[in-house]
Amino acid sequence: MTMKPFADDSAVDTIGDLSAENAPDAVMLSGSVEITRDKAGLKRARSLKALVDAICGELEAADLPDRLERAGKSETGEVANPFA
* Residue 2 pLDDT greater than 80, yes or no: no
* Residue 20 pLDDT greater than 80, yes or no: yes
pLDDT, mean of residues 32-59:
96
pTM above 0.85, yes or no: no
Q: Hey, is 55 helix, strand or coil?
A: helix
Query: What pLDDT score does 21 carry?
Result: 94
Residue 48: band (very low, low, confident or very high) from pLDDT cuts 50, 70, 90: very high
